[in-house]
Structure 1
Amino acid sequence: METRGLRRVGAGLAAALCVLLTACSDGAETEPEPQQDEPGQVDAAGLFFGECGGVSADELMQTTGISNVRLIERNSVGCRWEDPNFFGARASFSWYRGSPIGRERALVELSGRDVFDVSMQGPNGELHGFAGRGVGICEVSIESESDFFVWSVVFDQLSPPRDMCERVEALAEMTVTRAE
């Protein structure tokens, strides 16, 4: 078929679709869309957690019991440490500004991890969040106003410590107590 023929077929399909959609309309006026926040409006920012959650590689290893990790990535919203061994331990700190913690919790629950609530005392009062425990992994997420952070540590898959989430919670507490 030549190009003109294809254009006619495409135009005909578009016209038919338009007629069909109009015919299916009940003619009732639609509800106006909900009012959205003004452009540039920002929710209250949470605490400032500092680079890498305010935790050094040595503190990370001492608190969690993992070893031989080194900082391999650092940016304005997080850090990542890894053992050079492919199957070794790894850890990350991620800071989400203006993002809902509920979505993070839903993802952790969908991953099949055991999820439980946690809270800790911050400089301006109690902060709440959750922990997600899986096979050899624990993540702790803590909310502060419209922000939250996540500490995630992957332990030795063959023999993870029984208290791995308590160790990751200790990292989160370090981050919270050092926040400004």
Structure 2
Amino acid sequence: MTSARLAVAIAGAAVALASCSGASGDTASDTPATTASEGPGPFFGVCGGLTDDEVLAAFAVPAFAVVTRNSVGCEWETSGPTGPSVSFSWYRGSPIGRERMGSELIGRPAEDIEIDGQPGFEARSENATGQTYLCENGLQYGDDFVHFSVMYADSVPTADPCAVARGLLETVAERAQ
């Protein structure tokens, strides 16, 4: 048999096998996708719908030096990029597991949380005296997630960072549209 005839015979056998597979109901369309999309989450608005005064009250600091708003989130800083800060991010079509894994890889073990029926995580960092100085948490909404990071840097915390982050996240969850 020539190589051309062999190729035709193999192609014909492949087509025949494929049609037999289709007849038994075992087709690729019957197999579930490995990554199913849950669809987009709700609308959160600029800064998750939070006002500067609400963040200021939760963070328990006298004033913000800088407030940054952009297309992916907001950051409230008390004394520039190295001082105490609160940041909010809204990730569209991005897996929360990657954010959680990143926290764990840099030494912030994550714990499961749930707010308003939405699954999420909370991770914290402590200083040498065991005081929490940084806390981040996030909630999953379909294919999206929202995330807060509350950091007191080298300053003495004026409030529990995880209580601040959770309180702000609860407010954002209540306002989700």
C-alpha separation in 2, matches of 1:162 and 1:68: 14
Name the TM-score, length of structure 1 as normaliser.
Answer: 0.69
Choose from 170, 173, 176 the match for 1:176: 173
> Secondary structure of the residue that 1:62 maps to in structure 2?
helix
SS state at 1:143 partner: strand
| Structure 1 residue 64, shift from structure 2 partner | 2.2
Counterparts in 2 of 1:110-129, with a 5 A limit? 110-121=105-116, 126-129=117-120
Q: Counterparts in 2 of 1:1-180, with a 5 A limit?
A: 43-84=38-79, 87-121=82-116, 126-135=117-126, 136-160=133-157, 163-180=160-177
Q: Please tell me whether the aligned partners of residues 138 and 147 of structure 2 are also in contact (alpha carbons under 8 angstroms).
A: yes
The alpha-carbon distance between structure 1 residues 61 and 138, as it changes in their structure 2 partners (threshold 3 A), is same
CA RMSD, 1 decimal: 2.4
Distance in 1, matches of 2:66 and 2:88, equals: 11
**CA–CA distance in structure 2, aligned partners of residues 67 and 140 of structure 1:** 24
CA distance in 2, matches of 1:109, 1:144: 21
Question: Between Structure 1 and Structure 2, how many residues are aligned?
Answer: 139
How far 1:87 sits from its partner (Å)? 4.5
**What is the rounded CA distance, in whole Å, between the counterparts of 2:159 and 2:77 in structure 1?**
21
Partner of 1:108: helix, strand, or coil?
helix
For residues 50 and 155 of structure 2, what CA distance do their matches in structure 1 show?
A: 26
**Whole-Å separation in 2 of the counterparts to 1:106 and 1:171:** 22
Contact in 1 for aligned 2:112/2:120 (Cα 8 Å): yes
Structure 1: 5+ residue runs without aligned partners?
A: 1-33
SS in 2 for 1:116: strand
Query: Separation in 2 of the partners of 1:46 and 1:152?
Result: 20
Q: Structure 1 stretch 65-74 or stretch 47-56: which is displaced more?
A: 65-74
Counterpart Cα distance in 1 of 2:162 and 2:58: 11
Give TM-score, length-normalised by structure 2.
0.70
Question: In percent, how many aligned pairs have the same letter?
Answer: 38
Secondary structure at 2:100's aligned position in 1? helix
In 1, are the aligned partners of 2:61 and 2:158 still within 8 Å (CA)? Answer: no
